[in-house]
């Protein structure tokens, strides 16, 4: 579905993403992990068109989308969530999602249809679609759900979830992970999930790519990656045993 090769982004003299290559198969949940500053969000910015690559190709469904403007990439079926949610705070939850449904499709749906779509998506993420429900009332977990709803409302084939579960408690994190698994299962949406809290991500993903200083340092199934000496050295450190246990529990 997605094929990235030789992808590079240089900011001034600093290379944030360096020659990365990976593929995503239709229906897969791929985890994109790595320490803070390793280039995960920049990779999402390049795929979604928020930034143009310095070099490299990004093929989506066989066509090169590298450097296309973000709206055109969205219309082709790639949606992304942002690490820091920035909804329209004066609008209702429902209006926020309906706007995404309206502008996120190449053929703008009729108003009624955009609202119907928004209600459906809000149900999926467990948020109220009552027009009186305000964004102000949402906590960190609610804002993450709204971010997800806005992305889903555009009707994506591929979802780039920049989750950052930071700020959520243990049960909220697990709920967020279960929600992504359900979106893949019920909607058939392919997902790339960026997250630096590995224990949670490793429960759900089929495969992981590990970035460090803008380069891919490992790729494989969760059990392979969790035992990879390089990944343990640069990233897992003293958490390695916990993450390995999570992966082993999942297999049984």
Q: State which residue, 163 or 228, has the beta carbon closest to ligand ADP.
A: 163
Contact string (CB under 6 A) for ligand ADP, positions 36-75, x = contact: xxxxxxx---------------------------------
Q: Which does 188 bind (CB under 5 to 8 A by kind): ligand ADP, Mg ion, none?
A: none
Decide: is 34 part of the binding site for ligand ADP (CB under 6 A).
yes
Decide: is 81 part of the binding site for ligand ADP (CB under 6 A).
no
Q: State which residue, 54 or 174, has the beta carbon closest to ligand ADP.
A: 54
Q: Taking the chain, what is the end-to-end CA distance rounded to the nearest angstrom? A: 30
* Plot region of 126 (φ>0 → left; ψ -120 to 50 → alpha; else → beta): left
What is the SS3 assignment for 130? Answer: coil
Size of the site for ligand ADP (CB under 6 A): 10
Contact string (CB under 5 A) for Mg ion, positions 8-37, x = contact: ------------------------------
Smallest gap from residue 209 Cβ to ligand ADP (A): 12
> Across-strand partners of 9?
17
CA atoms within 13 A on the CB side of 90: 0
d(CA 210, CA 231): 7
- Considering only 29-37, 144-152, 175-183, 197-205, which stretch makes contact with ligand ADP by CB under 6 A? 29-37
Of positions 41, 48, 154, 246, contacts Mg ion by CB under 5 A: 41
| CA 146, 140, 237, 10 torsion-angle sign | positive
Q: Are 132 and 92 in contact (CB under 8 A)?
A: yes
- Considering only 13-21, 26-34, 38-46, 53-61, which stretch makes contact with Mg ion by CB under 5 A? 38-46
Smallest gap from residue 197 Cβ to Mg ion (A): 12
Residues 2-21 that bind ligand ADP (CB under 6 A): 11, 16
Name the DSSP letter for residue 109. P
Structure tokens at 227: 């035992």
> Across-strand partners of 92?
134
Smallest gap from residue 208 Cβ to Mg ion (A): 16
Structure tokens at 29: 């949940």
d(CA 32, CA 201): 9
Residues near ligand ADP (CB under 6 A): 11, 16, 34, 36-42
């Amino acid at each position: 579905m997605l094929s990235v090769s030789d992808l590079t982004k240089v900011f001034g003299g600093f290379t944030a993403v360096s020659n990365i290559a990976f593929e995503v198969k239709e229906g897969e949940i791929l985890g994109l992990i790595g320490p803070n500053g390793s280039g995960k969000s920049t990779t999402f910015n390049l795929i979604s068109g928020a930034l143009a690559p310095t070099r490299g190709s990004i093929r989506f469904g066989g066509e090169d989308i590298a450097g296309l403007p973000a709206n055109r990439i969205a219309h082709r079926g790639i949606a992304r969530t942002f690490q820091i949610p920035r909804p329209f705070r004066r609008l209702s939850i429902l209006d926020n999602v309906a706007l995404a449904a309206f502008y996120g499709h190449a053929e703008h749906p009729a108003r009624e249809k955009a609202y119907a779509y928004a209600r459906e998506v809000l149900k999926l993420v467990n948020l109220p679609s009552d027009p009186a429900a305000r964004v102000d009332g949402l906590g960190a977990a609610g804002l993450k759900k709204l971010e997800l709803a806005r992305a889903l409302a555009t009707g994506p084939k591929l979802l780039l979830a920049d989750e950052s579960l930071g700020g959520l408690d243990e049960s909220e994190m697990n709920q967020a992970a279960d929600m992504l698994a359900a979106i893949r299962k019920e909607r058939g949406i392919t997902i790339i999930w960026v997250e630096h809290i590995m224990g949670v991500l490793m429960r759900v993903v089929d495969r992981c790519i590990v970035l460090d200083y803008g380069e891919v340092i490992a790729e494989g199934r969760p059990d392979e990656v969790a035992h990879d000496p390089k990944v343990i050295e640069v990233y897992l450190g003293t958490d390695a045993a916990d993450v390995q246990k999570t992966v082993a529990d999942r297999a049984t």
